[in-house]
Amino acid sequence: MKTVSENRAFGGVQGVYTHQSQATGGEMTFGLFLPPQAQHRPVPVLWFLSGLTCTHENAMVKAGAQEHAARRGLALVFPDTSPRGEGVADDDAYDLGQGAGFYVNATQAPWAPQFRMWDYVADELPRVLFNNFPLDEGAQAITGHSMGGHGALTLAMSLPGRYASVSAFAPIAHPTASDWGRKQFAAYLGADEAPWAAHDATLLMQSQGFDGEVLVDQGSADQFLDLLMPEALAQAMAARRQPGTFRMQAGYDHSYFFVSSFMASHIRFHARALGR
């Protein structure tokens, strides 16, 4: 693991690091904010998964999360959204290839050798983090925006007991029924739609739900509402009587202005679940 940068922030340290990944077959970059409390003891971890076209840097710089996390004593992890670099498969479209890993393990050419973002986020990166930083492996929560909201919800429901809480900002909520999902799942996972269901938050909510509380914020003026399909997830939560909250925020769009407006609320939500 190599240190790219470390900057003092709100009494803690915002770092950027690289490491060689077995899951993706190349170098990966992640951001990690350690609050001041990490100087004295291992601290709980909040994962933030970013959306299409993003890197580790977008939420790290734009979401305004560090001040709130420092106050609550939470570490923040900002993974990248896909493998990158020369020799990594890509596509001319912004919503496929580099920057658009969709948090799945690809099984189809040319993506399968390196696009294994599920394994990376669920298994490999946690090992790197817990082996190298003062983090409490038994106290984790997860959130994300757009494609990252999809990833946060599907990981949380598929790994029961891993995360104390899950939240999402404008998640891609029903990808098996949306062009933001069907295109990528066909490319990464193949034409057989049966494996797709394991990566659809609405279908997972219908079949198993989450063993904690859920918080979802969606902007009513989001320019991608028809692709996100939040109503499907809201209906699935209501039908299952899933503990949690779905909020339609009047006038907000899909940008990081929306994310940063409600970040403090999400961190309070996760801090409460983590006992902070």
Active site residues: 146, 222, 254
Query: E strand or H helix at 259, and its extent?
Result: helix 256-273
Residue 184 neighbours by CB under 8 Å, 6+ apart: 95, 96, 100, 102, 104, 175
What is the spatial distance between Cα 188 and Cα 196, in angstroms, rounded to a whole number? 10
Find, among 33, 36, 24, the residue nearest to 59 by Cα. Answer: 33
* Residue 39 to residues 18, 31, 42, 62, 75, Cα–Cα distance (Å): 22, 18, 8, 25, 12
Single-letter amino acid code for the residue at 77: V
Bridge-partner residues for 140, per DSSP?
45
Find, among 271, 219, 263, 216, the residue nearest to 244 by Cα. Answer: 216
DSSP class per residue in 49-68: E--TT--THHHHHHS--HHH
Instruction: Report angle CA 194, 198, 204 to the nearest 5 degrees.
Output: 120
